[in-house]
Amino acid sequence: MNFDRVKEKLEILADAAKYDVSCSSSGGKRKNNGGLGDSSASGICHTYTEDGRCVSLLKILLTNHCIYDCIYCVSRKSNDIKRAAFTVEEVVDLTISFYRRNYIEGLFLSSGIFKDADTTMERLVRVAKKLRTEHNFNGYIHLKSIPGASDDLMNEAALYADRLSVNLEIPTESGLKLLAPDKNREDMLQPMRIVQKGIQQYKDEKKLIKSVPRFAPAGQSTQMIVGATNENDLQIIKVADHFYKNYGMKRVYYSGYIPVTVDNRLPAITAEVPVLRENRLYQSDWLMRFYGFKADEILDSNIPFLDLEVDPKLSWALRHLDQFPVNLQTADYKMILRIPGIGVKTAQKIVSARRFQVLNIDHIKKLGAAVNRAKYFIDFTYGNPFLKHLTDLNLRKLIIGGSQSKFQNQFSQQLTLF
């Protein structure tokens, strides 16, 4: 291996991969059976498992050559940038070398599209197959599926990768046609259907045959660029909701558009990255996945954009004050979840604790509630002096004034490998 040349490629292709944020490693349970790595264990890109453990992944592109000219993409064919491409063997060797040095616990591999979709996807599959079969690598592998790749390649990829993902890129088909006229939305949807069908088939067969090969055990995910086109937040969360319900999507990721070129179809090159908007979309996504909210409850046609001053759950509560206050001793679990400042774990603890004692504000604070918000929406059995503000026209300002946002407008880059 030519170390200097591989190092140069790594610098180029690791930097090009930083725009893809959908590299979660949750859900992998591939155990170590005498080989290298263990995707069920925790521990150069940082990502997190479902239970909050930090995992390091080698996050790279196979190549930044691309036949497409998507105007929002830094790797588009018309962009004058330095190009590079790894061989299959180089990616395999890098992964094993970094794993043995305890730099990483898995691989996140994406690619520009060279020649055609099948040629590119076949090389991605070869990387995963070599790692699994020749090196007995049991660490986490996330492959980016190539839109337009054949069904056979997608099925093979799912046998070796823990997670597969296809980026929707632009939330709406009209936006995609505007910024990436060479691409077809149907080419993105077909691989998702294949993976969804395979996962369900695996679950059904697993009930009858325990030795059936695992099929994308960590599921599939997708990513949408936010702010490159003029879609509103209601459209975006409805698209996400559709994919959760109809494609069994594990996660939908939102990436604030980073200006990379001057073009009248895009925001100005000096435009700020919509990081706060991206953050609010993630919060809305959380409400749909874990709090029982529907997309049209979070926003509607009269309010199509998320409130940037307050989080989506607090925004919903302020628009539905008629449903408050909530009595913690008698309310059902679903309604307790809708109280601003109370999360899933805290709501579960409240339902359990109220069987043994009458709860007060000190109790729920110890259980993990953010009482600086929750106190205005809860009716304790003995009363609550803060409820006098529930009908106050200045309630919104009162809550904002008593809260301090944890949000910071900054970017986190993957670690330098050398």
Dump pLDDT digits (tens) for 252-271.
Answer: 999 999 998 899 999 999 99
Q: How far is it between the farthest Cα atoms of the chain?
A: 74
Q: Are 7 and 418 in contact (CB under 8 A)?
A: yes
> What is the model's pLDDT at position 305?
97
pLDDT tens per residue, range 73-106? 999 999 999 999 999 999 999 999 999 998 898 9
Contact 6, 94 (CB under 8 A): yes
Q: Report the alpha-carbon distance of residue 39 to residue 23 in Å, rounded.
A: 14
DSSP character at residue 168:
-
Q: Which residues of the chain have pLDDT under 70?
A: 1, 22-53, 403-418
Q: Which two tokens stand for residue 395?
A: 């309630």
**Burial (CB count <10 Å: 0-12, 13-18, 19+), residue 23:** buried
Q: What is the pLDDT of residue 414?
A: 46
Q: Please list the alpha-helical segments (H only) found in 180-232.
A: 185-206
CA 24/CA 13 separation, integer angstroms: 19
Helix axes 185-206, 151-160, angle to 10 degrees: 50
The predicted structure's pLDDT at residue 25: 45
User: What pLDDT does residue 418 have?
Assistant: 32
Strands 54-61 and 45-48: antiparallel
pTM summary value: 0.87
Question: What per-residue confidence (pLDDT) applies to 391?
Answer: 82
* Strand duo 220-226 + 140-144: pairing: unpaired
Residue with tokens 């609550």: 384
What is residue 390's predicted lDDT score, i.e. its pLDDT? Answer: 87
Q: What is the pLDDT of residues 218-234, one digit of tens each?
A: 999 999 999 999 999 99
